[in-house]
Amino acid sequence: MLAYVFWHWPHPTVNRDLYRAQLIEFHETLCANKPPGFLSSTVFLINHANWLNTAGPAFEDWYLLSDSAGMDPLNQAAVTGPCEQPHNLVARQAAGGTAGLYRLRIGTADVSSSSHALWFSKPEGEAYKDFFRRMQDLCPEGSGLWGRQMTLGPTTEFCLLSPIEPTGGLTGQQVSLELVWSDIQFNKER
């Protein structure tokens, strides 16, 4: 399973509530018109992500894909057909954005249940097989360890998404996640 993660933030002159409402409308439209390979999406509000070109809050969109074959259909569907207008409303108001591609390495893909993210790198000199074995024991229940793919993205190599604050000696950038929208909520309401 892959995740295309997109960070973006509104221009300072844009009403943040309107931006948020239009972002939700885009995700609802995408969810109702799922392209092949697209599984779900979740949107968080985050603060203090040192890899972003903003000091203020930003939105973090997680698009879960069955595999890399889902990238092209998602890319096309997000900007055409029913999604074109909702996408363009948000895109015109964004001050900036960046993205990355991540693969689920350990644990669950239940992104929407997460309230904490720890972005970190594998310790230098530790073999990947040893690192993943050690991480099996350090990942809290209900968490997912995501690994950046092909150095595509602005972050450190790994992200541990968790419903609780990760412990166990892991160090990196802790980011609190405020759930804005998830397709799980959307599907329950329909």
User: Could you tell me if 44 and 20 are in contact, meaning their C-beta atoms sit under 8 angstroms apart?
Assistant: no
**Average pLDDT value for residue range 153-165:** 95
**Average pLDDT value for residue range 8-33:** 97
Range of the domain at 50: 2-189
Tokens of 5: 């993660």
**Average pLDDT value for residue range 47-57:** 92
Instruction: Report the greatest alpha carbon distance in the chain.
Output: 50
pLDDT at 63: 98
**Average pLDDT value for residue range 134-160:** 94
pLDDT at 140: 87
The secondary structure of the chain in percent helix, strand, coil, rounded to multiples of 5, reads 35, 35, 35
Instruction: Look at the chain and report how many structural domains it folds into.
Output: 1
Mean pLDDT of the chain, nearest integer: 94
pLDDT band at residue 189 using 50, 70 and 90 as cut-offs: low
Taking the C-alpha atoms of residue 44 and residue 13, their distance in angstroms, rounded to an integer, is 21
10: left (phi over 0), alpha (psi -120 to 50) or beta: beta
Q: What is the pLDDT of residues 79-116, one digit of tens each?
A: 999 999 999 999 999 999 999 999 999 999 999 999 99
Beta-sheet strands, E only, within 22-92:
38-46, 58-65
User: Could you tell me if 111 and 42 are in contact, meaning their C-beta atoms sit under 8 angstroms apart?
Assistant: yes
pTM over 0.85, yes/no? yes
pLDDT at 31: 96
pLDDT at 73 over 90: yes
pLDDT at 187: 63
Question: The domain spanning residue 149 has which CATH number?
Answer: 3.30.70.100
pLDDT at 35: 97
